[in-house]
Amino acid sequence: MNTLSNQRYLVAYSAVVTLAFAVVVLCGFTSQKSKMSLDEIDVHRINVVEPDGTLRMVISNQNRFPGIILQGKEYPNTERKTAGALFYNNEGSEAGGLIYGISKDKNGKLEEANVHLSFDQYMQDQVFSVDAAQQGGEKYTTLRINDVGDYSILESIQANERISKLPGDQQEGEWNKFMAAHPGNHPRIMLGRADDKSAVLQLKDTEGRNRIILKVAADGTPSMQFLDADGHVAKMIGAATQP
């Protein structure tokens, strides 16, 4: 009896030791940093995060593309019908991105095609962007530098949620009130190829008004215009030079 008891004890002890060893080995493997090497992968969306879970980058198809994410909270945006990559700062707020896509009508005719790279001001909208686009038969490529107001984009999101619920004939007036109380959103520099095939550089004042326009027309004719605050040409250098 004693021998049998000892054998049972040894079997039980052996089983426990084996189980403990397996747990230690498995835990050791899972705790080690690992790197996977793949030749090709199909994926709908990739989230790059910090160790604490803070989102730093999203690469996504159109179906899984996120809304506007600010400080880790997502605000739905149904207008984002695109694919691409978005960048986030260390607070988990959107800081820019690269997006691209096309839209066609029911007959398969191209309505719009666009590739867009932009960088945002902290807790605001884009202050630098590059576009290569086509709308119908018109093609243009532009680089833009913008001023944005000294307020949080959250105020714009909240205003949009409120105003979008109003009757259509009231929305424009409410947006005018909002923009009057939140000034500062104006384009400052535009450089690109316009849809009339001209090459244009526009320099604007702090109210977004053109003050200098440097242009080479599609036929090669160069010109430079100096404009006053009302948009009138004060001086022009070019084919139709003014005194």
In this structure, what DSSP letter does residue 121 have?
P
Give buried/exposed letters for 198-236 (b at 16+ CB in 10 A, else e).
bebebebeeeeebbebbbebeeeeebebebeeeeeeeeb
Tokens 């619920």 belong to residue: 165
| 73 within 8 A of 88, measured Cβ to Cβ | no
Describe the crossing of helices 153-163 and 168-181 by its angle, rounded to 10 degrees.
Answer: 160
How is residue 84 written in tokens? Answer: 């691409």
The amino acid at residue 18 is T
Name the residue with tokens 């809304």: 67
43-52: buried (b, 16+ CB within 10 Å) or exposed (e) per residue?
Answer: eeeeeeeeee
Say what the pLDDT of residue 17 is.
Answer: 47
Give the Cα separation of 161 and 151 in Å (integer): 17
pTM: 0.80
pLDDT digits (tens, 9 = 90+) for 12-27: 545 554 555 555 545 5
pLDDT, tens digit (0-9, with 9 covering 90-100), for 117-157: 999 999 999 999 999 999 888 899 999 999 999 999 999 99
CA distance 155 to 208: 22
The reported pLDDT for the residue numbered 37 is 92
Question: Which residues in the chain come in under a pLDDT of 70?
Answer: 1-33, 239-243
What is the pLDDT, as a whole number, of residue 171?
A: 96
Phi and psi of 35, rounded to 5°?
A: -135, 130
The Cα 123–Cα 118 span in angstroms is 14
